[in-house]
Amino acid sequence: MSICHILAVDDEPINLALFKAFFYAQPYEVTLCSSGAKAIEMLDDPAQRVDVIVLDLMMPNVDGFEVLRAVRAHQHRKALPVIVQSGNGDDEYIGKALAAGADDYLVKPFLFDALMEAVKKVRPESA
The CATH number of the domain holding residue 108 is: 3.40.50.2300
What is the domain range of residue 90? 7-126
Is residue 56 assigned to a domain? yes
Tens digit of each residue's pLDDT (9 = 90 or more) over 81-104: 999 999 999 999 999 999 999 999
Is residue 39 assigned to a domain? yes
Peptide bond into 109 cis (omega under 30): yes
pLDDT (mean) for 1-19: 90
Is residue 45 assigned to a domain? yes
pLDDT (mean) for 16-36: 90
Is residue 81 assigned to a domain? yes
Is residue 1 assigned to a domain? no
Is residue 121 assigned to a domain? yes
Calculate the CA 78 to chain-centre distance. 14
**Strand residue runs (E) in the chain:** 4-9, 28-33, 52-56, 82-86, 104-107
Tens digit of each residue's pLDDT (9 = 90 or more) over 27-73: 889 999 999 999 999 999 988 899 999 999 999 999 999 999 999 99
* Total domains, the chain: 1
Is residue 18 assigned to a domain? yes
**pTM of the predicted protein model:** 0.92
Cβ neighbours of residue 11 closer than 8 Å, sequence gap 6 or more = 34, 35, 56, 59, 60
Q: Look at residue 126 and tell me whether its pLDDT is greater than 80.
A: no
Is residue 114 assigned to a domain? yes
